[in-house]
Amino acid sequence: MTSFNRGIAAEWIKLRSLRSSWWTLGAMVVASIGLATLVSATNAHGYSGFSAADKASWDPTNVSLSGTVFGQLAIAVFGVLAITGEFASGTIRTSIAATPRRRRLLAAKAVVYGGVALVIGEVLSLAAFFIGQPIIARHAPHASFGEPGVARAVLFAGVYLALICLISLGLATLVRHTAGAITAVVALLLVVPAITSALPSSFQHSVGKFMPELIGGNSMGAVVPEPHSLTPLVGAAVLCLYAVVMLAAAGWALARRDVV
Amino acid sequence: MESIDINGLTRTYGDTRAVDNLTFTVMPGRVTGFLGPNGAGKSTTMRLVLGLERPDGGTATIGGKQYADLTDPLRQVGALLEARALHPGRSARNHLRYLATTQGISMSRVDELLELVGLADVADKRIKGFSLGMGQRLGVAVALLGDPGVLMLDEPVNGLDVEGVRWIRDLLRGLADEGRTVLLSSHLLSEVAVTADHLVVIRDGKLIADCSTSELLDGGSSGAVLVVTPEPARLEEIVVTAGGRVLAQRGYSVTVGDLPATRIGELTARAQLVLHELTPQRASLEDMFVELTAELTTTGSAS
Closest CA to B183 of B12, B47, B16: B47
A164 alpha carbon, distance to own chain's centre? 3
From CA B116, how far away is CA B137, in angstroms rounded? 9
B interface with A, Cβ–Cβ < 8 A, is: 47, 50-54, 67-68, 70-74, 79, 81-82, 84-91, 94-95, 97-99, 101-104, 142
Please name the residue of chain B whose CA is at the shortest distance from the CA of residue A13: B98
Whether A227 shows a pLDDT value over 60: the answer reads yes
Q: What is the mean pLDDT of chain A?
A: 93
What is the pLDDT at residue B302? 38
Of all residues in chain B, the percent with pLDDT exceeding 90 is 62
Distance in Å, alpha carbon of A116 to nearest chain B alpha carbon:
18
68-97 in chain A: CB under 8 A from chain B: 85-86, 89-91, 93-94, 96-97
What is the pLDDT at residue B117? 94
pLDDT tier, A192 (very low <50, low <70, confident <90, very high otherwise): confident
Which CA distances in Å does B231 have to A54, B65, B258, B273, B298? Answer: 99, 51, 20, 8, 18
Q: Each residue of A1-58: pLDDT tens digit?
A: 788 899 999 999 999 999 888 888 888 888 889 999 999 999 999 999 999 999 999 9
What is the pLDDT at residue B293? 66
Q: What value of ipTM does the predicted structure carry?
A: 0.88
pLDDT tier, B297 (very low <50, low <70, confident <90, very high otherwise): very low
Contacts of B54 in chain A (CB under 8 A): 258
Q: Is the dihedral of CA A66, A72, A78, A82 positive or negative?
A: positive
Whether B298 shows a pLDDT value over 50: the answer reads no
Q: Each residue of B148-181: pLDDT tens digit?
A: 999 999 998 887 888 999 999 999 999 999 999 9
From CA A159, how far away is CA A220, in angstroms rounded? 9
What is the pLDDT at residue B260? 83
> For the whole model, what pTM was predicted?
0.84
Of all residues in chain A, the percent with pLDDT exceeding 70 is 100
Beta-carbon separation of B71 and A3 below 8 A: yes
From CA A107, how far away is CA B178, in angstroms rounded? 38
A192 alpha carbon, distance to own chain's centre? 16
What is the pLDDT at residue B286? 61
What is the pLDDT at residue B300? 40
Q: Each residue of B93-113: pLDDT tens digit?
A: 999 999 999 999 999 999 999
From CA B98, how far away is CA A105, in angstroms rounded? 13
Whether B82 shows a pLDDT value over 80: the answer reads no
Closest CA to B108 of B90, B120, B125, B118: B120
Whether B301 shows a pLDDT value over 50: the answer reads no
CB nearest to B97's CB, from A3, A13, A100: A13
Dihedral, CA of residue A98, residue A100, residue A101 and residue A103, to nearest 10: 80
* H helix count then E strand count, chain B: 10, 13
The β-bridge partners of B34 are B185, B200
pLDDT tier, A60 (very low <50, low <70, confident <90, very high otherwise): very high
CB nearest to A13's CB, from B47, B74, B94: B94
Q: Is the dihedral of CA A129, A134, A135, A140 positive or negative?
A: positive
Q: Which of B71, B95, B101 to mutate to test the interface with A (most CBs of A within 10 A)?
A: B101
Q: H or E element: which one contains A205? A: helix A201-207
DSSP A27-80: HHHHHHHHHHHHHHHHHHHHGGG--HHHHHT--HHHHHTTTHHHHHHHHHHHHH
Q: Each residue of B257-276: pLDDT tens digit?
A: 888 888 899 999 999 999 99
Beta-carbon separation of A98 and B84 below 8 A: no
Please name the residue of chain B whose CA is at the shortest distance from the CA of residue A89: B87
Whether B299 shows a pLDDT value over 50: the answer reads no
